[in-house]
Structure 1
């Protein structure tokens, strides 16, 4: 039987975002594979964490590309971003909780690129008058990703349906970020 690597990474990331100390046996069980298969695919916990982080960041980059952040109204771009990235909220939750990943220069560089792209969207929105100027664009980016991680955890815990994630994220975020005259 073929093993779907992406499904394993998703299952492992979902478990580890809530239980960072989960044993490899628990991770294998969550992914629906044997521990031997898990170790064959990912020789060691550190390698697995790195692979989940790399996968999460690649999914986030793809979501940013799909959202076309540089195009059109900045508020509409935030809504497009939320639509594109909500399916990956659990992976963002994993990244939020796995600080050791940021000791890895490639992970840090990828995250910095993503963060810079989103911060540029907020800066563009501030310059156009769409977003509040007293809140730094870099902080708006951080707040957006923190709320996104919160959506991921809420979906995992059954407090929020994934289909409601985009609306919850955009309404809460834009409610505080949009400039009011």
Structure 2
């Protein structure tokens, strides 16, 4: 992927995460490009743009999971590492979260399913080990993780929170919700 294309996708993700039903002309205007430029990169229009965003989000999430080594060590540290490694791709994840809430595009994505299963597995492992509460399901903790990532992106985008607070905000809330009481550790 070219840097220009990825920059366009990031701009589209930032805008569409706040306005998921925007039209192609609105998307182009928000991205600061002409419709012709947008069409040159995504000739299939909105559908191709959404597919590219979905592909990139899944790629970034899989990379974050691999780099965070979430299957290693205690689960709380794994969550902190996961949040830290997801920060860069958070706008893409937020976009997918927005679409799943708004219009749930029918984009099959085995890579996304694999990533989702890995995060679910982390929370399930934490529940089995006793690090996390068994009062909440791993499925709910996984959904809460995505929701908190989206909320943090929106808070930073709107200027209500600083980017430097992204990792501690998300990690502390996830771990507090998971019933883990040692949330003072910094992410690694």
TM-score in same-fold range (> 0.5): yes
| Higher mean C-alpha deviation, range 20-29 or range 8-17 | 20-29
In structure 1, distance between residues paired with 2:173 and 2:180: 14
* 3-state SS of paired residue (2:124): helix
Kindly indicate whether the alpha-carbon contact (under 8 Å) linking 2:123 and 2:132 is maintained by their aligned counterparts in 1. Answer: yes
TM-score (norm 1): 0.90
In 1, distance between residues paired with 2:21 and 2:72? 41
Give me the TM-score of the superposition, normalised by structure 2.
Answer: 0.87
What does 1:17-166 correspond to in 2, within 5 Å?
17-43=17-43, 44-99=45-100, 100=103, 102-106=105-109, 109-166=110-167
Structure 1 residue runs of 4 or more that deviate by more than 4 Å after TM superposition: none
Deviation sequence 1:16-49 (CA, Å, 0-9, x none)? 1111232323322333322111101102111111
Aligned positions, number: 177
Deviates more, 1:3-12 or 1:91-100: 91-100
The structure richer in helix per residue is 1
Q: Which runs of 5+ in 2 are unaligned?
A: 182-188
* C-alpha separation in 1, matches of 2:162 and 2:66: 25
Confirm or deny: 8 A CA contact 2:76 2:180 kept in the other structure: no
> Alignment RMSD, CA only?
1.7
